A and B are shown apart, each in its own frame.
Chain A
Amino acid sequence: MYDIVIIGAGITGAMLSWKLSQYALRVAVLEKENDIAEGATMANSAVVHTGYDPEDGTLKAELNVKGAQQYETICQKLHCSYHTVGAYIAACGPEEEKSLDVLAARAVARGVPYDDLSGDEARKREPNLSDQVTRVLDFYTTAVIYPWEVAEACLESACGNGTELHLNAPCRSITPIDGGYLVKTPKGDFRTRYVINAAGVHAEEIHNMVAKAAWHVTPRKGEYYVLDQDAQPIRHIIFPVPSKEKGKGVLAIPTVYGNTLIGPNSDFLDDPDDNGTTDAGLAYVRSNISKTLNNIPLNRSIRTFAGIRPTTTCPDFIIEEVEGAPHFIDAVSIESPGLASSPAIADKVIEILLQSMQPERNPDANMTRKAPVVLKNLSAEERNALIRENPAYGRIICRCEQISEGEIIDCIRKPCGAHTVKGVKKRVRPGMGRCQGGFCEPKVVHILARELGISPLEVVYDSEKSYILERENRV
């Protein structure tokens, strides 16, 4: 019998599994997709909001502030990127400036630091800021991260401490049994004392397996442009003034790898898995970014994508034991600022768990992971030492991002490693550059096949059915 089954390997499930792995508990994480971090964690703004935005008295406000405070330390422990770039909330005119006053008051009450800048001062520091901008709140402790990296690092560490990760394991049913629940999946049955519902856009289906949810998931799509690394129009994250209807609005984000993200829009969806981009959505992004910024080179876009936020009819996070279903805990309705809040969401879930269990600490738990080799960040001497030891670090596979074969092999071999082309791309970035894998994808397919001991025909792009090569054609 498992102690805990976590449903969903997004940032919520990953962070929780990592924090739980300090205890001597038998934990399984069930993920319906072929890799971790495939839902909202995969496609979002990658910002660690500092907590000035959520309304007073909400869980969002509390957990955002607490979560953001932990992030830098967590990223250090897990060897993840964490870049403090600062966030500008840009108001255009007196009406919008009033909204800044509200945000400033919240920030003061919550201990979130900021600077208040005139439009002109802000433009000096951020030259592409539009002339319409009259005043800016600079939340200078705001950081950007690489969300998949954090989720992966958490699960890598957790798996090292004994947590089980089961991919392609959609939850088919959850039935109460003596002392807990029976969770059925195509990958086997899991008997467990506790179930944590961290299923994102599919949380309602999971909840309804044990009790009728009093809320509905109302997924919202957000579409983004990704700009070439060589086009870096901004230094800070640039937000418009947030609104109730459109959330945080269309932002510009300097990501940890130098690409700039422009987006998102916000459209309600019927299908929670419909992550296709649309003409209308991208047009909305294009027309709205020009309100706060000039000279955004959208012609340097190398990719567009859409992400789905697991918004529900409840305006706040829902983190509680489900009424009538003891030991079944929801961690749902985790839309923005869910990424920033995830460490505190995990704490909150653990707090609930500890009300009815007293787990021992795992004396062997290692709450860090081996630092991944990133050649790009090393000096020539350091690189040479590595290459002498392992020549694969000297074979560059991805020209655009300068990723070596050694780094690709590392990301396949490690716990919770990559076994798909997109998995490799998410972890070490070949295919993220301007050629988008045109040159390196065939090489990555070959390396995956060799490392996994499968035929190149069996290598998939992402899901189990997303084959890349149709048949052999040898003469």
Chain B
Amino acid sequence: MKKVQAIIIGGGSAGLAAAVSLKKNGIEDIIVIEKDSEPGGILEQCIHNGFGLQTFKEQLSGPAYAERFIRMAEEANVRILLNTMVTKLSADRIVEYVNPEEGCVQVQAEAVILAVGCYERPRGGITITGTRPSGIYTAGQAQRYLNIDGYMVGKKVFILGSGDIGLIMARRMTLEGAKVCGVAEIMPYSNGLPRNMKQCLEDFDIPLYLSHTVTEVFGKDRLEKIEVMEVDENRNPIPGTEQYFDVDTLLLSVGLIPENHLADQAGIRMDPATKGPVVDDRYMTSVEGIFACGNGLHVHDLVDYVSLQAAKTAEGAAAYLKNGKPQGELRSIRNGNQVSYCVPAAFYPNDPPEKLTVYFRVRTPMDNAELVIRSGDTVIRKLKKQKLLPSVMEEALLLQKDLSGLTDDITIEITEGGK
């Protein structure tokens, strides 16, 4: 069997950043495996602006952002296998892949980085009742049809879910001549980034129906009509609030889910909150030598953070390849009050990294809140947070001295604050 130092599964924003970072950290013998015919992943269909403000200090389109990383990868001599699908991953890091040229190949890697991305929750995941006509797409699917293939999917559109792709598509389809009749969001607040709410809905007078959802679809061949209802605080539709929209297209933007099939195969422990692998402060999963990054780890709000995070995963993998696993026991980083998840969720108190950024999300929008990081009863840090939104990924920075020698788990929680 062929052997390599590292295999990165996925050649999108996370995989490319991880590859560049591995090379920078002195790991030469690496392969990136990409299922599509081009590297870049979903960025290739995100032709709108707004990428790169953190990484490159300028506004780029998705393909332009991807191009920068593709160039960096080329300059670093990263080997990318295209049109190649990973079909199996085992706990001893044997990767089986298939492509038209080589057929079915097994390679053993000393380290594997999962950079597999996420998928969009489909209709079945939320159970909209009614018929099964054509005309119902996930927002990203409609985006691919429009931006890669060059086809509009419909004329009169309704969007369920205020996730960012849905908002971007509301604007994009309006600009291309479709009538977007509205966006329904089951929660009482938006799930998209504030800037997308403004630039994609408000600027185009597209109504947003908060605490509303699509309850039924109609149409035998193609979608003809949808039923929208207001929901109560338990997200149950309120009888008597039915509204009908005659639309031929329904876009679903109801959540992204890390793709975890390979992680499951390898027996990696998963976090039910992120739906991605549980990782330690080096971004290593519960299976030694297998690391995770990007939206396959947890769904990020901005691609810039995906690139940053993936580079850190690669640093963790490079350190592992040079020095092996850190010494000592793991301690957990726990979700406290109002925190829905933390990534990473574990650290090595005997061998902590210089800096550890913990990404987390809050459960509900809050103003004037206080973020408290504590270990047992000891408060490590308190921070004022003017505004917290579930749609915005938050960070908590921990330093080596904060973590070193801790005997208790760390809890990240929000105290005070309110609506």
The residues of A with any CB-CB pair to B shorter than 8 Å are: 226, 230, 273, 275-279, 282, 301-305, 380, 383-384, 387-388, 391-396, 399-400, 402, 404, 434-439, 441-442, 446, 456-457, 460-474
Sample of 19 A–B contacts (CB below 8 Å): A230-B261, A275-B131, A277-B130, A301-B124, A301-B125, A388-B103, A394-B101, A396-B35, A400-B261, A438-B120, A438-B138, A441-B141, A461-B134, A468-B134, A469-B151, A469-B153, A470-B153, A472-B150, A473-B146
CB distance from A410 to the nearest CB of B (A): 16
Q: A470-B155, A474-B150 known; A276 and B130 CB under 8 Å?
A: yes
A276 touching B264, Cβ below 8 Å: no
How far, in angstroms, from A49 to B149 measured CA to CA in the complex? Answer: 46
Contacts of B130 in A (CB 8 A): 276-277
Contacts of A467 in B (CB 8 A): 134, 222
Contacts of B149 in A (CB 8 A): 442, 446, 456, 469
The answer, among A273, A303, A384, for a CB contact under 8 Å with B104, is A384
> With an 8 A cutoff between CB atoms, is B176 at the interface?
yes
In the complex formed, the residue of A with least CB distance to B37 is: A395
Q: A394-B103, A460-B134, A473-B152 known; A435 and B122 CB under 8 Å?
A: yes
How far, in angstroms, from A473 to B144 measured CA to CA in the complex? Answer: 12
Contacts of B154 in A (CB 8 A): 470
How far, in angstroms, from A474 to B122 measured CA to CA in the complex? Answer: 27
B101 touching A436, Cβ below 8 Å: no
The answer, among A383, A439, A471, for a CB contact under 8 Å with B152, is A471
The answer, among A394, A437, A439, for a CB contact under 8 Å with B100, is A394
How far, in angstroms, from A152 to B220 measured CA to CA in the complex? Answer: 23
Which has the most chain B C-beta neighbours within 10 Å: A273, A395, A400, A464?
A: A395
How far, in angstroms, from A30 to B9 measured CA to CA in the complex? Answer: 49
How far, in angstroms, from A235 to B275 measured CA to CA in the complex? Answer: 25
A442 touching B145, Cβ below 8 Å: yes
The answer, among B85, B119, B151, for a CB contact under 8 Å with A470, is B151
> With an 8 A cutoff between CB atoms, is B127 at the interface?
yes
Q: A279-B129, A472-B151 known; A387 and B98 CB under 8 Å?
A: yes
How far, in angstroms, from A464 to B220 measured CA to CA in the complex? Answer: 11
How far, in angstroms, from A277 to B124 measured CA to CA in the complex? Answer: 11
Q: A438-B119, A467-B134, A469-B145 known; A387 and B100 CB under 8 Å?
A: yes
How far, in angstroms, from A388 to B153 measured CA to CA in the complex? Answer: 37
Contacts of B150 in A (CB 8 A): 472-474
In the complex formed, the residue of A with least CB distance to B141 is: A438
Q: A395-B100, A457-B151 known; A438 and B122 CB under 8 Å?
A: yes
CB distance from A408 to the nearest CB of B (A): 14
Contacts of B176 in A (CB 8 A): 473
How far, in angstroms, from A438 to B150 measured CA to CA in the complex? Answer: 17
Q: Which secondary structure characterizes the binding site on chain B?
A: mixed
How far, in angstroms, from A276 to B129 measured CA to CA in the complex? Answer: 7
Contacts of B125 in A (CB 8 A): 301-302
A391 touching B100, Cβ below 8 Å: yes
A456 touching B220, Cβ below 8 Å: no
Q: A395-B99, A463-B220, A473-B146 known; A305 and B132 CB under 8 Å?
A: yes
CB distance from B313 to the nearest CB of A (A): 22
CB distance from A468 to the nearest CB of B (A): 5
How far, in angstroms, from A473 to B249 measured CA to CA in the complex? Answer: 16
In the complex formed, the residue of A with least CB distance to B87 is: A402
B residues 80-114 near A (Cβ < 8 Å) are 83, 85, 87, 96, 98-104, 106
> With an 8 A cutoff between CB atoms, is B377 at the interface?
no
Contacts of B132 in A (CB 8 A): 275-276, 305, 462
Q: A380-B96, A391-B101, A438-B120 known; A399 and B35 CB under 8 Å?
A: yes
Contacts of B264 in A (CB 8 A): 230
In the complex formed, the residue of B with least CB distance to A275 is: B131
B85 touching A276, Cβ below 8 Å: no
Q: A276-B129, A456-B151 known; A383 and B220 CB under 8 Å?
A: no
Known: A396-B35, A441-B141. 17 other contacts (CB 8 A): A277-B130, A282-B129, A303-B122, A305-B132, A391-B101, A392-B100, A394-B99, A394-B100, A395-B83, A396-B85, A402-B85, A434-B122, A436-B123, A437-B122, A442-B149, A469-B153, A474-B150
B151 touching A399, Cβ below 8 Å: no
B residues 205-234 near A (Cβ < 8 Å) are 215-216, 218, 220-222
How far, in angstroms, from A152 to B16 measured CA to CA in the complex? Answer: 44
Which has the most chain A C-beta neighbours within 10 Å: B100, B140, B144, B154?
A: B100
Contacts of A282 in B (CB 8 A): 127, 129
A277 touching B129, Cβ below 8 Å: yes
> With an 8 A cutoff between CB atoms, is B133 at the interface?
yes
CB distance from B135 to the nearest CB of A (A): 8
Which has the most chain B C-beta neighbours within 10 Å: A305, A380, A442, A473?
A: A473
How far, in angstroms, from A305 to B128 measured CA to CA in the complex? Answer: 11
B122 touching A302, Cβ below 8 Å: yes
Contacts of A439 in B (CB 8 A): 119, 141
B152 touching A470, Cβ below 8 Å: yes
In the complex formed, the residue of A with least CB distance to B155 is: A470
Q: A302-B125, A383-B98, A470-B152 known; A434 and B119 CB under 8 Å?
A: yes
How far, in angstroms, from A276 to B215 measured CA to CA in the complex? Answer: 12
Q: A276-B129, A279-B129 known; A465 and B221 CB under 8 Å?
A: yes
